[in-house]
Structure 1
Amino acid sequence: MTKLSVNINKIATLRNARGANNPNVVQVALDAERFGAEGITVHPRPDERHIRYQDALDLSKVVTTEFNIEGYPDQRFMELIKTVKPAQATLVPDPPNAITSNSGWDTITHQEFLKDIVAELKSYGARVSIFINPEAKFFESAKTTGTDRVELYTEPYAVQFHKDKHAAVKPYVEVANLASALGLGLNAGHDLDLHNLKFLKESIPFLDEVSIGHALICDALYYGLENTIQMYRRQLEV
């Protein structure tokens, strides 16, 4: 069964727009779990434009499902993981000014760097996942970093989905099978929504986890958060 982890960054964006505590990020996370989310994901950035580092500390005290913290492994991120000890730390190669994640790691060029980072994160008790493009050349070198999982960067799949969904998913199926053969766990995320999620799951039935934020929160404006989480869960029940 593929787990649904709800990324609540956009809730923090809305809160920060007014400077108070409405909506309450912690309460939304608790509600998301109550409504069926099997994980909570946050991605604090250095400028704290949405999730703040304090949010991650506050959430760590109450989240009872899998807590996943994404980010670039700078000193502050590493200290946060050491303090919070989340279930999973997901490494993304974003520069500080990136609006959102837009590429996976080059695990060949950054092999030694990632090896050291993965080893340190695992020493804190976190499962480690590396955000990665659907290119076979990066998977064997991902394995040798010592990571537990990889997270497929799915924006290219989402962009091509409405034109030719079979062509869109083909490279993902190929690298998913490679990841499985290498003994790597498999996550996926970025631009997944109610239109393209079910087909991805049907094509890669052994996905461990999907992390979805922007589309899910947008859908919740129309359908309500509880109903939306259940709608996404149903897309994964294939």
Structure 2
Amino acid sequence: MTAMIPTTALSVNVNKVALLRNTRHLDIPSVTRAAMLCLQAGAQGITVHPRPDERHIRGRDVFELAELLKAWPDREYNIEGNPFHNLMDFIRELAGRGMRPHQATFVPDSEGQFTSDHGWRLSDHDAKDAERLRLLIAECHALGVRVSLFMDAEPQAMVAAKALGADRVELYTEPYAAAHGGAGQAAQLQRFADAARAAQATGLEVNAGHDLNRDNLTDFLRAVPGVKEVSIGHALIADALELGYAATVRDYLRCIAQAR
């Protein structure tokens, strides 16, 4: 009997729904309804990245989505952001209200950054942040929250991530997405596969995200072993404008299933 290969969870990042809503004062499209429709279609989780300027996800969204997910106990809530900005305030308050997220993804972005564009460089200029990260990871664990560190695909960095107490790393996949379909694709896939194996060798689990889409997702998951979760926002919401949330989520789940 052939053992079943565990599938990769799909977590839908709903930031871009909030970005569109914020262009008017009508409260549409609804972030919580978007999340509900994605969950109904089979998404295994919802991700938000509330930045300090609230240019997309707002504070009330964080708590309304946590309330929504109480009705979906088999799904996960992932809240990401820079733990030195506003992320920890949300995690602490959610935990205090009995709605702690399942996962906190620590991302080293600046307050005004357009989008996340690199992982923690623990052996480079971010080394000074290591002790602060260690303490905040320990605090999350005390609150019952799993921690994933947003990391570049650098195998040698995984030991440092594990040493801080992280449970997972989320591999920053934009370099792979940019190379997909071109001469550099194979090299990027090898790089990410090596990083995933290095992480797993230390005891870390592996997530992935950034610019993954229906064209490149299956190839990535076939090449990179043991990816526990992909967090997809921009491409998925763009597809949903044409296909609708339910059809889009089902097609991303198809892409994941094809990699098995």
Distance 1:186 1:169 in 2: 15
| RMSD (Å), alpha carbons | 1.0
What residue number does 1:33 align with?
A: 39
What residue number does 2:52 align with?
A: 46
What residue number does 1:128 align with?
A: 147
Say if 2:234 is the partner of 1:214.
yes
Say if 2:96 is the partner of 1:79.
no
**Normalised TM-score (structure 1):** 0.97
Match of 1:173, SS state, is: helix
Following superposition, the deviation at residue 118 of structure 1 comes to: 0.7
Following superposition, the deviation at residue 20 of structure 1 comes to: 2.1
Per-residue CA deviation, residues 31-87 of structure 1 (Å, 9 max, x unaligned), is: 110011100000000000000011101111111210000000135321210122100
Per-residue CA deviation, residues 131-179 of structure 1 (Å, 9 max, x unaligned), is: 0001122110000000000000000000111213212211100011111
Following superposition, the deviation at residue 13 of structure 1 comes to: 0.5
Within the candidate set 112, 131, 142, 1:97 is matched to 112
What amino acid maps onto 1:34 in structure 2?
Answer: Q
Distance 2:154 2:86 in 1: 30
Contact 1:107 1:114 in 2 (8 A): no
What residue number does 2:181 align with?
A: 162
Distance 2:209 2:87 in 1: 20
Contact 2:189 2:224 in 1 (8 A): no
Distance 1:75 1:153 in 2: 20
Distance 1:209 1:19 in 2: 34
Contact 1:134 1:172 in 2 (8 A): yes
Structure 2: runs of 5+ lacking an equivalent:
1-6, 95-99
What amino acid maps onto 1:31 in structure 2?
Answer: L
Moved over 3 A (4+): none
Within the candidate set 157, 165, 169, 1:138 is matched to 157
Following superposition, the deviation at residue 192 of structure 1 comes to: 0.2
Following superposition, the deviation at residue 220 of structure 1 comes to: 1.1
Say if 2:167 is the partner of 1:152.
no
Per-residue CA deviation, residues 111-146 of structure 1 (Å, 9 max, x unaligned), is: 212111111111111100000001122110000000
Following superposition, the deviation at residue 180 of structure 1 comes to: 1.1
Within the candidate set 103, 109, 127, 1:88 is matched to 103
The aligned length equals 238
Identify the range of structure 1 (87-96 vs 25-34) with the bigger mean alpha-carbon deviation. 25-34
What amino acid maps onto 1:97 in structure 2?
Answer: G
Match of 1:150, SS state, is: strand
What residue number does 2:121 align with?
A: 106
Distance 2:53 2:104 in 1: 19
Matches within 5 A, 1:6-21: 6-21=12-27
Contact 1:220 1:228 in 2 (8 A): yes
Within the candidate set 2, 5, 13, 2:11 is matched to 5
